[in-house]
Amino acid sequence: MLMLGAAFTMNIAQMHAQSRYDFSKLKMENLGRGVVAVRESPDKVNISWRYLSQDPESQSFDVYRDGKKINKSPITDATFFTDNYRDSKSAVYAVRPKKGKLSGSYTLPADAPLGYIDIPLDRPELGVDFWGKEYFYNANDASLGDVDGDGEYEIILKWDPTNSHDNAHDGFTGPTYLDCYKLDGTKLWRINLGENIRSGAHYIQFMVYDLDGDGCAEVVCKTADGSIDGTNKLIGGHKADWRNMKGRIIAGPEYLTVFNGKTGEAMSTVDYQPARGELKDWGDSYANRSERYLGAIAYLDGVHPSVIMCRGYYAKTALAAYDWDGKELKLRWIFDSTTPGNEAYGGQGNHNLRIADVDGDGCDEIIYGQMTVDHDGTGLYSTGMYHGDAIHLLSDINNEKYYVWGCHENKKDGTSLRDAATGEVILRYPSNKDIGRCMAGDIDPNHEGVEVWSPSSGGLRSFKGEIIAPQKEFLSEMKSILPVNFCVLWDGDLLTELLDHTTISKYNWETGRADELIKFEGVVSNNGTKGNPCLQADMLGDWREEIIFRTPDNQSLRIYVTDYPTDYRFHTFMEDPAYRVSVANQNVAYNQPAEPGFYFGPDLKGRKFRGTIVK
């Protein structure tokens, strides 16, 4: 397999040629150094840290173990270092820049496990449902936020009861819990969403972000009578039970609550928009389609982050944008497909969404399946290709345009690539089947730009639509020539790796198949066939991504950190607004991987950024 080498430094802001984001005004996190140390073997420890936009291009670093410098010469080409450390005792690793003052440290525990950070969990107790049947809890989707303002992330984890239900099914569910953990396992709080928030992938979309710019992240989600915040205070008028005899919730008040990220305290609760209204408007009369929710973070004014709460995508579709200023949760706008003039936007939603400044005006748009809503709450366009399960945000290698690669359930359009700003279809691979998955990433250096594939694409295709590796037969709507669930930046080159359940594989362009790189043992993936981790994101260390899985007994989370060396140095992807909000939105419905708002891949070679040529 070809490995792409050579030192390189990249400025994320310069990659946004297609956007007019004002990075000097954009309100984002004040990240720390993100130092992490993980054992690769009994005699090797890998240390990794963030290269930040505030660092000069010439920045070099030194690494210390227990106060003693361990690198012979300043580290300039990467933010990754391997220490030959055989002692099983704990050690404190520190990283210090040659210029500036932002240092960071990490304590490697005694007898640390190989390859990952272990975070012990406080699993909720067994529950008993309406009919007397026991259920227990699985650690499910997770998100990130710096809740205490120290420049490093905490993990917000959703606990999913084993009797959770898809909207299509009747049945009572246990309540969903949200926990907040520091990386040492300290639990800061637990929120109980209560009996009037049904448990399942489509009901609970929790957004974690610093919305008011105070340096500490908030948590925002739908609540109801009987929800209990992290300080054990009741939300709503009383502990009413609004469930009907089928376990569904078709009546009662609905709320939207913003919680203090550090304490879990409910700081403000308002009536939830988009409101339930008439059930039949959403596509049925039994609270299946009316209870399909999505959520997102978006920079609607190009400066401040807003919360987007969404409802419906099979028939009526509605989105509501909110702003939090530290005191009030204010409604910015509502988009409703039943408003006269918006009829073309009905039924176009997905099980997930993407956020980006697709039209270059400096403000984010909401890519809501086969439709896109402009930053001001007006419709930008609708393709009319109706609902699908997955969409991906792509950029051409010159970062001049965004594109959307999506699959369709209409048993006609199959999979398509469109211009994200106009909706113009560039490529389409029709199918008379329901295409449930698709994926994109630069996995082959022999073809320009990103590659795309799905069960209907006929195999792996280039960004121009050329067949690279043909698929000899149509396997099913859920299978393709390559995995289609998730992807991840894992090894040391500029190519994207494939993540499916608990296995990372790499595309082999000589055989046209994926070769296994690593299979994570002792952990499990989430959400059935979706096979996603709790989270995939550049949460620690250098620009590569970490992966969070749960153990089968739900007693721990494991944060896996790559042990591949690299000669590349990039600003942390979390400083890219499109990538950062895609991490915040990852837990929404059918989880999709975090994706950058710029082209990333081997075609960076030969291009100049900040005076450096990628070789």
In the block, residue with structure tokens 């942390």: 572
Residue type, 472: K
Whether pLDDT at 526 is above 80? yes
Radius of gyration of the chain (CA): 23
Instruction: State the pairing for strand pair 329-336/318-324.
Output: antiparallel
Q: Give the pLDDT confidence score for residue 440 in this predicted structure.
A: 96
Predicted confidence at residue 615, as pLDDT, reads 57
C-alpha to C-alpha distance for 529 and 238, rounded to whole angstroms: 38
- CA gap 88, 111 in Å, rounded: 5
Claim: this prediction has a pTM higher than 0.85: yes
The 10s digit of each residue's pLDDT in 1-49 is 333 334 455 566 666 655 677 888 889 999 999 999 999 999 999 999 9
Per DSSP bridges, beta strands 568-570 and 8-10 are parallel
Looking at residue 613, its pLDDT comes to: 47
Does position 608 have pLDDT exceeding 90, yes or no? no
Does pLDDT of 85 surpass 70? yes
Starting at the earlier edge strand, list the strands of the sheet with 459-461. 439-441, 451-453, 459-461, 467-470
Strand partners, 330: 323
Q: Residue 147 has what pLDDT? A: 98
The per-residue pLDDT for range 340-377, each reduced to its tens digit, is: 999 999 999 999 999 999 999 999 999 999 999 999 99
pLDDT category at 238 given cuts 50, 70, 90 is confident
| For the chain, percent of residues with pLDDT exceeding 90 | 86
Question: Average of pLDDT values for 597-603?
Answer: 92
Whole-angstrom distance between the N-terminal and C-terminal Cα of the chain? 18
Q: What is the pLDDT of residue 21?
A: 79
H/E stretch holding 444 reads: none
Q: What is the pLDDT of residue 577?
A: 94
Q: What is the average per-residue pLDDT within 237-262?
A: 92
Task: Please tell me which residue, 283 or 131, carries the higher pLDDT value.
Answer: 283
Is the Cβ–Cβ distance between 435 and 408 less than 8 Å? Answer: yes
Answer whether residue 473 shows pLDDT above 90: no
φ and ψ at residue 330, rounded to 5 degrees: -110, 140
Average pLDDT of the residues of the chain: 92
